[in-house]
Structures are given as C-alpha cells and as structure tokens.
Amino acid sequence: MLIGAGVLLTTCVHRPAALTQVQRSGVLRVATVNSASTYYLGPHGPKGFEYDLARGFGRSLGVKLKMIIVPDRAAILRAVNSGRAQIGAGLAISPGRDARVRFTPPYLSTPLDAVYRQHTSKPAKLADLSGQLVLPDDTALADWLHRRHPDLEFSVDRTANTEELMARIAHGDIGATVANADLVAMNQRYYPKLRVGFTLTDVRQQMAWALAGADLGRRRDGLYNKAIAYLEQARAKGRIKILHNRYFGHAARLGFVGGAEFARQVKKRLDRWKRYFKKAGKEYGVDWRLLAAIGYQESRWNAKAASPTHVRGIMMLTRSTAERMNIDNRSNPQQSIDGGTRYLLQLRKRLPKAIKPPDRTWFALAAYNLGLGHVLDARRLLKQAGRDPNVWVNLRDALGWLSEKRYLDQTRYGYAQGKQAAAYVSDIRAYYDILMWMTSDKHQHKPAALDEQPSASGADQGDDDKNNPPDISITSPAF
C-alpha cells in the first residue's frame, strides 16, 4: 500500500511552468522540422526563418536557444506537450492542432496556391482538382478540405512533403497539390513546368508558435505572454518582414520563364567557365556559385560581352575598375572573374561595419551594380526617414528613391537607377539559389555566400530524428 502511494505521489508531481524551466536552465528549447522555411544547417551553423525568429526570442529572455529537430509536425506537438520543448515552431494554426496546444496569435499569413503542370488543363477552382489533388500527410489543409469541401476527392501521401509533391507534378507523376505561395515561387525556379492555377480565396496559412496547453500565461510573466509580446514587437519593428525578405523575398522575382532559361544556360555554357569560378572562389573564400550567378546576370556567361558604356567580359568590368584590379584583358574569362571577385570583396570591405551578414553581401552586390556612393546615399536617406539603414529589405526600398526628384537634393552622388540595382540583386540571389539546388544533393549543407557567420547555438536531434538528418535543407512548411 505504501509503495502504491509512493508511485501515486511521484506521478502527480507537476513539472514547473515553462518560463520557470527556461529561467532555471538558461535554455529555451524550440522544436521544429528541417525545412527551407524553418531550420537547416549551413556550413557555419543553423539558419532559417523560424530559427532566426526563435533566436531573437531567446536573446530577449537572456537565455541560449536549443533547437530540437523532429521528423514531422505531429512530432512538434508531441515535443511541446511532453515538455521536451517549450515552444513549437513552423506550425500553422488549425482546429485540430488548436485543441492540443496553445497557439500565439499568427505572426505570418501566406496565401495558398493550387499547383499543376504546364500543358495540362488549368484549374480555376477547387472542384477542378477533384480526383487529382494530392496533399502531404503533415499539412492541416486536409482537415479543412474535409470540413469545407466534403465532396472534393483528394488523396494524402504519407511518405512525401510538399516539395516532393511539386517535383512529382513537374515530372508528370501526379496532377496537382496546394502549397504555401512562398514555397511555390521557390520551386518554380527549379521546376519551370510548375504553374499556379489559382490562389485559394477563403483560407490562408496562418503561422504561429505553439506552447503547451497547461502554460496558459495566467501569470503576467508567463512564457506564453512573453512570446506574444516578442512576436508583436518583431512585427511592429519590421523584424518579421526583414526575415521573410531574407529567406523568401527574392523567390518570386525570377519566375518560371527566367528560371527555365537560366537552367538551360547552366547546361549549355557554365561548364566552359566553371573552373575559373571555382578557382576564384577557393582563392578568395567565396562560394563559386555566387560568382557564377553574378557572371550570368552581368553577361549571360559570354566572355566577349560588351556594352555601349564600354564595360566588358563575363563580369562586365569598366576600364577603370579593371585597372584598379590590375586586369589587362577584360575579355579574358579568368582575368575577368578574378578581377570581379576582388572588386566585390573590396566593396564589401568598404561598407560600414554595422551591416551584418547576409545583408552585407546584398549591399555589396548593389554597389557592384550601382556604385558604392549611391548605396551610401540610400543609407543616408534611410537614416533621415528613421529606418534601419543596415538591412537589405530597407535598402531595397531606398534604392528606388535615388531616381525620385524629391530626394535628389539630399544625396551626395545624385540620380541613380536604384530600382534596377534592387532587381539586379534579387535576380542574382535567385540564380544563386538555383545553382545551389542544381549542384548539391539534398543531404549537403546550404553554402554560405560571402560572409555568413557561425551561430552560437546547437541542435538536439533526439530519438525522433534518426531518419531525418539535420542537414536536409529543403522540406516544406505545413498548411
């Protein structure tokens, strides 16, 4: 009888509240999946939209962040409810999930696109997808469709994620799926035959953090309340917008037509010059694929390219730049690539130290296209407008101001085609992403461009992740 009472007492002990756990341990544990939109390992440490957002929350609490990587979104819920993690990230709100965890208000709302294959019948509404629609197992969309469209026929593939389904559509193996619009834009660059039939009008993907139902934030200092306050501040100060642009802002610009042509030229032209890009990349510590992306944007990998403004070669160097870089033949591909790489690094070095990676890379690219003086002008305009001048999403806006009359008297270097420079950087980012995808298998780390720095955080794989290694950088967000 005493033994039984002892067992009863031990099983009735409640674990401390989530905030108390975090404060006592000095560690915030966040569960998520490997995904391009959540968390992946780069060569210098963790990256991803949800990782960066969670890291900011950990800093606001004065604690370290520990990512717990699990195989699917159902495992995120289990990790939160079991106490293995205090927060679940990379989840969309749904009635089924809402009954199991306590969600914060949504911090990101994304449209959902119906995706089909080029040269097949274009769907205009959900009914047109009946019988050919396939969804992944860990999306919340299936439950929503069952409730709102009970007559719609669709299947759920328990072995595939959304990106895999889009690949199958591109190859003609299945008919259609529904996916996050950011993810669709990214994958249209890789699979030019993917098309968007329509965007769902009565539902969006509402992303939120999940906490255990027991931690209802009854106390003013509860972790739930602190998470809400942090996310609202991140939204109000533009932090969420900045992170979204960092990971997805360049995805839609290129489109499937530009992506298809780029992929064709990779096969047709890149092999001829690849050894020079790799040589410069190795010598100067730059990912050769970024250099190749610049070369394609500048000249379409044409060593004899020339413009009416007398810039020449694969990296389209001016005569004065070539002289500063000690290049005597701009049409020589090796010299052009070497000189262009050193010039880019020189621009990067001259930027103010307050500009941090990876934005520092995009600032340097804008300066490569427009001139460093104009980039510094744009930063000054941002300061005058009370906006952070050290993040790319703000500079992208300010570059456009350089062609507006009302701003010209506030600049040192005058008029510039800043919108063109912003588009230039976005295109290079897109080409770079495609090259990474084309030259890396999915088990390789996502590479750094110029200057991504190591992160002081680890990931706990745990038992749930034996078959899902942390360096898989492309999966899919939930509905």
Enumerate the active-site residues: 298
Report the C-alpha gap between 170 and 357 in whole angstroms.
34
* Contacts of residue 174, Cβ cutoff 8 Å, sequence gap at least 6: 132, 134, 165, 168
What HEC string does 27-93 produce? Answer: EEEEEECCECCCEEEECCEEECHHHHHHHHHHHHHCCEEEEEECCCHHHHHHHHHHCCCCEEEEEEC
Strand ranges of the sheet holding 112-117, from the earlier edge strand across to the other edge: 177-180, 112-117, 194-199
Report the C-alpha gap between 333 and 314 in whole angstroms.
6
Calculate Rg over the CA atoms of the chain.
25
CB 79 within 8 A of CB 42: no
Report the C-alpha gap between 359 and 356 in whole angstroms.
6
Burial grade of 286 (CB within 10 A; 0-12, 13-18, 19 or more): buried
Burial grade of 416 (CB within 10 A; 0-12, 13-18, 19 or more): buried
Cis amide linkage into residue 105, ω under 30° from 0 = no
Number of H-type helices and E-type strands within the chain:
20, 14
Q: Checking phi first, is residue 204 left (phi over 0); if not, alpha (psi -120 to 50) or beta? A: beta
Report the C-alpha gap between 300 and 258 in whole angstroms.
12
Rounded alpha-carbon distances, angstroms, from residue 29 to 82, 124, 192, 425: 12, 43, 39, 35
Tokens of 174: 């299945």
Report the C-alpha gap between 223 and 20 in whole angstroms.
8
Report the C-alpha gap between 107 and 313 in whole angstroms.
46
CB 207 within 8 A of CB 94: no
